[in-house]
Chains A and B, each alone.
Chain A
Amino acid sequence: MYSQVIDEQPVSSDELNAQEALFQEKIDNDIKIEPRDWMPDGYRKTLIRQISQHAHSEIVGMLPEGKWLTRAPSLTRKSILLAKVQDEGGHGLYLYSAAETLGVTRDEMYLALHSGKAKYSSIFNYPTLTWADIGVIGWLVDGAAIMNQVPLQRCSYGPYARAMVRICKEESFHQRQGFEMLITLCKGKPVQKAMAQDALNRWWWPSLMMFGPPDADSVHSAQSMRWKIKMNGNDELRQKFVDVCVPQAELLGLTIPDNKIIWNEEWQQHDFGEVNWDEFYNVLKGNGVCNRERLKARVDAWEDGAWVRDAAKAYAVKRQRSSSL
């Protein structure tokens, strides 16, 4: 998930040579590209942006849910949430490692995030206001992530595809946990159900935005599709997501905050309302409720931890010296 708007590197005509033709042929034949294989510069750079954006989203994504670790209402829920947030950190780690195989360091990726050059998913700039948000994030946000990521298990770049296999397994578990939590809330007291409805009202539209802008406005998708680092169109996945969520909301007894949702017999899918794309672009620009807070938390963690990293380096040098004596 979490790679909503990727600026691709344009391919220059002099790169269209035999090497590139061979590269494209491998991709067309579903042969994985591995770190030491030749690859066009544009492929490498686009992948670095895509994978690092995904990694950043995982670690920034720890923040909104992390806020509820200290307020989880039972010991079981506390354990589940702690394990989940830890999994997200683990996903960040696999993804940074996958990106590193393309010749970029983790520190360089962090600096790009901290300077605002690299993005993370817009969804994490929304606040978690009640305990029900934790359930809805599992159901919708992890649900949307799975929708995006399952196809990426078959993407052309080996390390990314393999990282995605493990991530998808865990995300799917998180999604089920979130849904189960909502079942408990919706079967509970009226105030708990109201809490769940309020959370759905706030998270529904931002979740649809996770798939990125409409295909018609997503001008760079074609090359990524040829390279098989983007496997499906944004609109196709968004539609699939809505179709999956509508009956799930019915099961919970919750109302999706879109009065245009209706089953279309002819198309065998749901019609639904228009996403507010102005809001989406505004949040991407940095004007979401929590953009500043999220980025500040990451920058502070990095800067406050500088002395620890310096000490680790100094200690490693000392150890090396003493072992070479």
Chain B
Amino acid sequence: MNNNIEELSLSLFMGDNNLILSHRLSEWTGHAPVLEEELALANVALDLLGQARMWLEYAAEISEDYKTADDLAYKREIWEFRNVALVEQPNGHFGDTIVRQFYYDNWHKLILEHLYQSENERIAGIAEKSLKEVRYHLERSAQWTVLLGDGTEESHNKLQTSVNHFWPYALELCNTNTANSGFDDDLASLSRQTWIDSLSNIIAEATLQLPETEFSYSGGREGIHTEHLSLILAEMQCLPRAYPGTQW
């Protein structure tokens, strides 16, 4: 029995969310609507990848089954991934990507602010380093949410559709009623309402409305995912799986 089950669970959850979202953002390379955004999307992808590595390195140290962060990223099966469905969702149009990011960044900042207080120095350290980057991510996704929500009629309508579409996926981030999550105390400190409150000013400024529906996806933390993750992993893990035991 692993004595660090809670820490392992937490670091896999944080690492996997960042890893998969970084993967999705990297798919924008060469396809963004303006060059500056091309750079910003790659920058956020790179930050999240760096954070994923920190979490997965820690996870590998306390895991009994995997030795390195690369093992965790490239050798695990789909049911061993702990990320939420939100980060697996396809990029869609630029507004979809912005809303997915805005939901995530708000949650990410709140959870990191909490983890920064952790008695576990390793967790607190990763959170501190990540927070500096995530504050910038949130600033950017909030600015774009306002700009597109309050831009043209077309952009407003698109954003409202994105806000509605990603809502049930985003609620999973704050879904604390999950068995075996291993870190309920940490996550329970961030209630759904706290997260919703954190969105409301920007959503109002963007002249958008949050959906009323309470349905939330769940299962990511137990390894139950949407079909998208199987395709992401097929792509991401293709070389290490085709040539096992190879150094790259």
Question: How many inter-chain contacts with C-beta < 8 Å in the A-B complex?
Answer: 134
Decide: B30 and A62 in contact? CB cutoff 8 A: yes
Chain B residues lying within 8 Å of A77, measured Cβ to Cβ, are: 248
Complex interface residues of chain B between 1 and 42 (CB less than 8 A to chain A): 23, 26-27, 29-36, 38-39, 42
A178 to chain B, nearest CB (A): 13
Q: Which of A75, A185, A302 contacts B49 (CB 8 A)?
A: A75
Contact A85/B42 with A131-B239, A184-B247 known, Cβ cut-off 8 Å: yes
Nearest CB in chain A: distance from B92 CB, A = 11
A75 to B55, CA, bound (A): 12
- Expressed in whole angstroms, the Cα–Cα distance for A66 and B30 within the complex equals 7
Across the interface, which residues of A come within 8 angstroms of B246, CB to CB? 73, 188-189, 192
**B36 is contacted by which of A71, A93, A192 (Cβ under 8 Å)?**
A93
A16 within 8 A of partner (CB): no
Query: What are the residues of chain B within 8 A of A184 when measuring CB–CB?
Result: 247-248
Is there a chain A Cβ closer than 8 Å to B140's Cβ? no
Q: Is chain B's binding surface mostly helix, strand, loop or mixed?
A: helix
Q: A304-B33, A308-B95 are in contact. Are A82 and B46 (CB under 8 A)?
A: yes
B235 on interface, CB distance cutoff 8 Å: yes
Q: How many residues of B contact A (CB 8 A)?
A: 48
- Provide the B83-98 mask, 1 if CB < 8 A to any CB of A, else 0: 0000000000111000
Q: Which of B52, B150, B154, B243 contacts A75, CB < 8 Å? A: B52
- The reply to whether the CB of B53 lies closer than 8 angstroms to some CB of chain A is yes
* Contact of A309 with B33 in the complex, beta carbons under 8 Å: yes
Tell me the chain B residues, 203-238 only, with Cβ under 8 Å from chain A. 232, 235-236, 238
A-B CB proximity, top 10 nearest: A305-B33, A311-B151, A311-B155, A73-B239, A66-B29, A86-B42, A73-B248, A308-B33, A69-B26, A63-B30
B150 & A131 in contact (Cβ 8 Å cutoff): no
One of B67-75, B122-130, B166-174 at the interface? B67-75
Across the interface, which residues of A come within 8 angstroms of B238, CB to CB? Answer: 71
A301 partner, pick from B31, B95, B232, beta carbons under 8 A = B31
| Contact of B148 with A by CB under 8 A | yes
Q: Is B193 an interface residue (CB 8 A)?
A: no
Question: What sequence of 0s and 1s flags, for each residue 45-66 of chain B, a beta carbon within 8 Å of any chain A beta carbon?
Answer: 1100110110010000000000
Cα separation A297 to B240 with both chains bound (whole Å): 29
Q: Are the C-beta atoms of A311 and B30 separated by less than 8 Å?
A: no
